Amino acid sequence: ELVLFNATGSQEIARCDLPARDGDIWHGLAPQLKVGFAYGYRVHGPFEPDQGHLFNPHKLLLDPYAKGLVGQHIWDNSHYPYVVERQNPDGPLDTRDNAPFSTKGLIVDPARLTSLARGPIVPWRDTLIYEMHAKGFTMRHPQVAEPDRGKFAGLSRGPALDYLRALGVTTLELLPIHAFVHDRFLVEQGLRNYWGYNTLNYFSPHGEYGAHDPIGEMRDFVNSAHEYGFEIILDVVYNHTCESGRGGPSLSFRGIDNAAYYRLNPQDKTQYADISGCGATLNANNPHVRKLILDSLAHWTDAYGIDGFRFDIAPSLGIDDLGNFHKDAPFFQECAADARLKNIKLISEPWDAAGGYHVGDFPAHWADWNDQARNSYRQFWRGDRGKARSFAEALSGSASLFADQGKPAYASVNFVACHDGFPLYDLTRFAHKHNLANGEGNRDGGDHDFSCNYGIEGLNVPVEINTLRERQAANMLASALLSCGTPMLLSGDEFGRTQGGNNNAYAQDNVVSWLDWSVAASPAGRARLALTKRIIALRKQIFAENAHTDTNFNIGWWNVWGGPMSEADWNNPDTRCFGALFEHGGWFIIFNASEADARFVLPPLQQGVWQQHLNTAQPDRPAGDRVATSGQTIDVMARSLAVFKHDISRTIGKSGHGF
C-alpha cells in the first residue's frame, strides 16, 4: 500500500493499493504521484515472529530505494511492530500509527540526479587517503561561513579544499553520509550518533549535512573536489541498519520483509545471526539484498560521481549461511562483473564482530585496512620487545598478508590512527581510555590501543615529556606514510587534534570530535602541519623512484654495524634500531625506537654522500644540510627516525655539515 503525503510529509494525501504482482514485485497505478510529494509504504502480511515475519500495516515504512527524504526521525514507541511497553518482541501486535514521527521518502525529479562526471582516477601507487567527517571538518572552521559549517557546502568552498590540496593528500574518504538515525538510547541521554554507522537509507544523503538541499549540495561538493583533483570515497555500512536486532523498530527493511533483508537464526527465527555486533546483519546471501547494495553503489557512482567505497565490517558480504567467508561469494562476483562499478576503488574493513578476521583475503581488486601494520607502528615505537620483524614487515607492505596471496603492496591500507580509537597524538598522551562521556560507564571502546603517556596521563605535562611525545607521534606518522602500501591519514592528525582521551567518540557530536582549528593555528600545530607536509612530499618522492613494481618492494635491511640484518638480529627481542635501504633512488631510513642514542654505520655505497632529508629529533632542519660519507658512523638520537638519500654527485665540502 503506497501512502502519499504533502511536500513536508505532515499531511496524508492519498493511499493507493498495489494489487498486481510479478514475481516478488508488487505494483499498481498511482496517478496522483508528483515530483516533490512525500511517500511511504504500509505492508500487509502475517505477524509471525516465530517464522521471522513482522508485518504490520499500522507502520509507515521508508522505501529502501528512496532517492530523497523528508522529515526528521522522531523516536516514539509507535515505531515498534509489537507493543514495546510489554517488553515482549513476540507480541502483541502494536496498532499505533507511527507516520507522524517517521521520515518519508521524497519523489525526486530525475533531472536533479543526472550523471555526474567521475573524478580523476588516481593510481593506487599514488593514492594517499584522508579520512574525514563531513560535519566535523568545518564545524569550527573560522574561514567557513557560519551557515555552511558542518555542511556539504562548507566542504565545497575554498578554505577546506585549498587546505587539503596544500596538505598533499589525493583521496578524501568521508565517514558515513548515507541517511542515518541517532540511536534511541543515545538520544535519551542527550547524545547523538556522530559517526553515522546507523543507516536508515542507502540512496539518500544525510539531511543534517545539507543547509537547504542535501542532494544538490552533496553533488556540488563532489564536483568541486573533483575540480581540485581529489577522489571521493564513501564509508558505507551494508552490514546492519538502524533497525538493530531483536526487539528493534520497524522503520523500513524489517517491516517490508524481515526474513529476507536480515540473517535469521535458522533454529530460532525470532533471533538474528549477528555478525555486525549491532543486533542484526543484512543478508547478502539473498539476491534481492545484493541487488539493493549494488544498485546503491551504482547510484552513488552515477548520480554523485563517487570514486570508491570503504565497506564497514566487509566480511558480512561474503559469509555463507554456515558462517564461512568466501572471497568468491556471490556479492564479490556480482560486484566485479557490474559494469556500473568499473574503475572504482573498493576497500574493506576486513574483520567482523563475530571473530572473523580476513586481512588479505578479499578479492584481488580490493584493498584492506591493515590493523597488523597499525599495531606494529604503535608497539615498535612504544618500545615493546620483539617487534622489529613485524615492524619491518609492515614497512615493506605486509607481504605475508598480501604478496603471498598474489596481491600488490598497495592492497595494504596503512595507518596509525583512524576514526575508531585514539587520534595520533592522543596515543602519546593517554595510556587508558576516558570514555565516561559516552554514558556507558567507560565500558565501551577498546582496551588495547598500545598507547603510552610517557609518565603523566593527559595533556598538561612538563616540557621534556611533551618533547618526547611530539617526536613519538612524528615517528609513528612517518612510519605509516613511508611504508609500502596505501597510506591513510586521520583528519586532524596532521596538526595534533585531541579527543581528550576518548577512544570511542562515536556519540560525541560536539567539540570532542569537531576539528579545533585554533590548534592548527597555534605554533605547535603549525609545526606539526609543516612536518606532515614534509613527510608526505618525501613519500611521493621516494615512491616515484620505486614505482617499477606494485607487488614486491625490494628493501635491504641494515643493522647498526653497517651490515645486513641477520636472523639473529631479527630474533633478538631487544633489536630496536635498524635501517631500510630502498632498491631505487638511494633512499635509506633509520629507525631507533630505543631509549638510548645509537651509533649507526651508514651503508658503504661507492662514491657520493648521504644527505639527511628528515630527522624527527630535529624536525626544523632543512633537507640536505647534513651530509655524511658512505660507511660513516653517525649518532642517531633515541626514539627518532631519520631519512637519507645517497647523492653520487656530491662530496662533503663547505656546503655541507658532517655528523
Number of residues in the chain:
659
Q: What is the pLDDT of residues 528-553, one digit of tens each?
A: 999 999 999 999 999 998 865 555 67
Give the mean pLDDT of 177-190. 98
Selection from 23, 395, 437 nearest residue 189 by Cα: 437
Alpha helices in 383-431 (DSSP H): 388-395
Domain limits of the chain? 2-112, 125-236+289-544, 555-647
**Residue in the block written with cell 593506487:** 124
Closest CA to 229 of 166, 151, 300: 166
- The answer on pLDDT for 70 being more than 90 is yes
Cβ burial 333-354 (10 Å sphere, 16+ → b, else e): ebbeeeeebeebbbbbbbbbbb
Residue 431: φ, ψ to 5°? -90, -15
Q: What is the pLDDT of residue 549?
A: 55
Q: Specify the CATH number of the domain 125-236+289-544.
A: 3.20.20.80
First to last CA, the chain: 80
Architecture of domain 555-647: Sandwich (2.60)
pLDDT for 656 equals 43
Is residue 658's pLDDT more than 80? no
How many CA atoms lie within 13 Å of 505's alpha carbon, on the beta-carbon side? Answer: 22
Q: Per-residue confidence at 427, pLDDT binned at 50, 70, 90? A: very high
> How many angstroms separate the CA atoms of 546 and 589, rounded?
14
Quick one: pLDDT at residue 180? 99
Mean pLDDT score across all residues of the chain: 96
- Give mean pLDDT, residues 371-397: 98
Q: Give per-residue pLDDT as tens, 321-364.
A: 999 999 999 999 999 999 999 999 999 999 999 999 999 999 99
Query: Does domain 2-112 bear CATH number 3.30.70.420?
Result: no
Query: Quick one: cell of 34?
Result: 508528483
Place of cell 503525503: 5
Whole-structure pTM value: 0.97
Q: What is the mean pLDDT of residues 123-136?
A: 98
What digits encode the pLDDT tens for the residues 13-57?
999 999 899 988 889 888 878 999 999 999 999 999 999 999 999
Name the residue with higher pLDDT: 624 or 591: 591
Task: Specify whether the backbone of 586 is left (phi greater than 0), alpha (psi in -120 to 50) or beta.
Answer: left
> Do the two domains 125-236+289-544 and 555-647 of this chain adopt the same fold?
no
Give the per-residue pLDDT at 606.
Answer: 80
Confidence check: pLDDT of 500 > 60:
yes
What is the tens place of the pLDDT at every residue in 432-459? 999 999 999 999 999 999 999 999 999 9
Q: How far apart are CA 19 and CA 412, in angstroms?
A: 51
Per residue in 200-220, pLDDT (tens digit) is 999 999 999 999 999 999 999
* Catalytic center residues: 312, 349
Q: What is the tens place of the pLDDT at every residue in 150-171?
A: 999 999 989 999 999 999 999 9
Is the predicted pLDDT of residue 657 greater than 70, yes or no? no
**Crossing angle of the two packed helices 463-481 and 523-544, in degrees rounded to 10:** 30
